Chain A
Amino acid sequence: MRFRPAIAVLAVLAILGLLIFGLLTKGSSGVAVGEVAPASPLPHLEGGGNGSLADYRGRWVLVNFWASWCIPCREEAPALEDFQRRHGSGAFTVLGIDSRDLSGDGKDFVDRYGLSYPQLRDGDGATAHDFGTTGVPENFLIDPNGKVRLLLRGPVTEEYLSDQVAPLLPGSDS
């Protein structure tokens, strides 16, 4: 009979443990402007090992989450490629992250739009989740210290890139 309170306490602790585990694993995540961006390693879309946002520490990086099935991603791809050609250097790059997409479809997308900037693959969407994305496309400008400086939940346009992103990059007049 004296075991009964102990069993009840154990049952309550087990339920609380499950709740806490659920909150820790499925709880809200994401980064806000001013916070350090996640930099977990991801495979390169074209194969050949892993890459990470940490590889670009010391440079400005425009992280672009996309997927081949996403129509707005198709619309923003030419603007991103054009911006990369004009501003890509040792101080800046666009970094594409193909999220929840088939690798073959992702490679076809890169070929079709002639994207020259580096591409990583986030098949299970874990990195997109860590960034707190709500869909694709989403764009995060990361400064040389790895902190988020701009966040755009949606496709970039040429105007956004020239008005918001370009002025922050080294060598800009403003």
Chain B
Amino acid sequence: MRSRGSATVALLSLALLVAVSPSAAAPVERTSLSEVSAEVMCPVCGTLLELAESPQALREKAFVSRLVAAGRTKEQIKDALVAEYGDEVLALPQGSGFSLSAYLVPIVAFVVALVALLLGVLKWRRAGNERMPERGDAAAGPSDEDAERLDADLARYDL
């Protein structure tokens, strides 16, 4: 009785282990030639591999197709291409080293532009407030001199 209970516990533990193991949780990441060739370059042509039809590009596509058929993931294939052609084969800059600046510079530029815009708006509003006449002055109406000049102007344009 006790041994049957132990076996049940062992089976349940095994089932739980299989259920939560990473290999069971994550399905095998399949990729394709078109998926990879949209993210890597033809080094000789200087264009995306998917757009290139040069002899070098055809060799590179055949290489990718062989690795796809062998069940390699996209990242594994990209690593293999980097080993063959160097970092420049990647269409997207890597997220490390100097290449990281390709991602950081636009963000920093956006933040700087936003801050500059906010400062500009604040300055513009402050300058506008300084130029605005006080409410009391406006309610009092024009001075006598201004009123006379206004009347004269209106009379001149009276049709």
Chain A residues proximal to chain B, CB less than 8 Å: 67-71, 100-103, 105, 123-126
Contacts and interface: CB of A to CB of B under 8 A. Distances in A.
B84 A125 contact: no
Contacts of B63: 102
B56 A123 contact: no
Contacts of B84: 102-103, 123
Given A102-B63, A124-B43, A125-B43, A69 B85 contact: no
A124 B88 contact: yes
B85 A124 contact: yes
A102 B60 contact: yes
Interface in B117-140: none
B55 interface: yes
A125 B46 CA distance: 12
Contacts of B149: none
Interface string B79-118: 0000111111000000000000000000000000000000
Nearest to A122: B86
B43 A69 contact: no
B85 A70 contact: no
Contacts of A123: 83-86
Identify which of B55, B84, B86 gathers the most chain A CB atoms within 10 Å of its CB. Answer: B84
A69 B86 contact: no
Contact of B55 (A69, A103, A124): A69
Interface in B35-94: 43-44, 54-56, 58-60, 63, 83-88
A2 B31 CA distance: 57
B73 to A, nearest CB: 20
Contacts of B43: 100, 124-125
Contacts of B60: 102
Nearest to A99: B44
A101 B54 CA distance: 13
13 contacts: A68-B59, A71-B55, A100-B56, A100-B85, A101-B59, A102-B60, A102-B63, A123-B83, A124-B85, A124-B86, A124-B87, A124-B88, A125-B43
B86 A67 contact: no
B38 to A, nearest CB: 20
Contacts of B86: 123-126
Contacts of A69: 54-56, 58-59
Nearest to A18: B105
B124 to A, nearest CB: 15
Contacts of A125: 43-44, 86
B85 A67 contact: no
Contacts of A126: 86
Nearest to A70: B55
A71 B44 CA distance: 15
Contact of A102 (B54, B59, B88): B59
Contacts of B54: 69
Contacts of A102: 59-60, 63, 84
A102 B81 CA distance: 9
B44 A100 contact: yes
